């Protein structure tokens, strides 16, 4: 498994653990999508998470390649929930609590290689049935040249 795959697998695992029984404010971890923003049906939970992988920025290149990968976690809530903005803030807090257990994703990243970027509050486009918020992360890691 590549370093990038390991990063995504670890973050998805952490997000999937978000549940009321696990000590979180929401059950947002019951439905985690990777690489797509879903539409929630009546049969789906009131909230879901979507992990979107952004571009990476390559730094030093030698025997090792220092890379910073952007990952954005989207909190998606049906707009018909009670007080959707406050509900999205609970999901934002749960995302941060789940992902930010440590600063190196269990040793996958460089020391202190997990950085939090911008957090956007709930936004509902006019006519949309969903409210969305995001938490951005930057993950610094090293790959050996030719061995991702």
pLDDT in tens, 116-135: 999 998 767 677 778 889 99
Count structural domains, the chain.
1
Domain of 77? 3-144
| The pLDDT of residue 20 | 95
Instruction: Report the CATH number at residue 119.
Output: 3.30.70.1700
| The pLDDT of residue 105 | 96
Interatomic CA distance for residues 117 and 136, integer angstroms: 5
| The pLDDT of residue 47 | 87
| The pLDDT of residue 19 | 97
| pTM, entire model | 0.91
Query: Going by C-beta distance under 8 Å and a sequence separation of 6 or more, which residues neighbour residue 132?
Result: 37, 74, 75, 76, 77, 88, 122, 123, 124
Low-confidence ranges of the chain (pLDDT < 70): 37-41, 123, 125
Q: Which CA distances in Å does 37 have to 48, 73, 74, 130, 137?
A: 9, 10, 8, 11, 17
């Amino acid at each position: 498994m590549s370093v990038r795959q390991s990063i995504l697998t670890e973050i998805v695992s952490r997000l999937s653990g978000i549940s009321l029984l696990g000590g979180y404010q929401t059950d947002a971890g019951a439905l985690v999508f990777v690489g797509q923003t879903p539409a929630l049906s009546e049969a789906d939970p009131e909230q879901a998470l979507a992990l979107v992988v952004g571009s990476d920025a390559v730094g030093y290149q030698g025997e090792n390649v220092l890379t910073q990968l952007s990952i954005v976690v989207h909190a998606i809530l049906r707009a018909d929930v009670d007080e959707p903005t406050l509900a999205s803030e609970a999901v934002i807090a749960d995302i941060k609590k789940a992902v930010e257990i440590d600063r190196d994703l269990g040793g996958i990243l460089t020391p202190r290689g997990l950085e939090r970027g911008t957090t956007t509050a709930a936004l509902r486009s006019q006519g949309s049935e969903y409210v969305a918020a995001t938490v951005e992360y930057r993950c610094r890691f090293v790959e050996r040249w030719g061995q991702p």
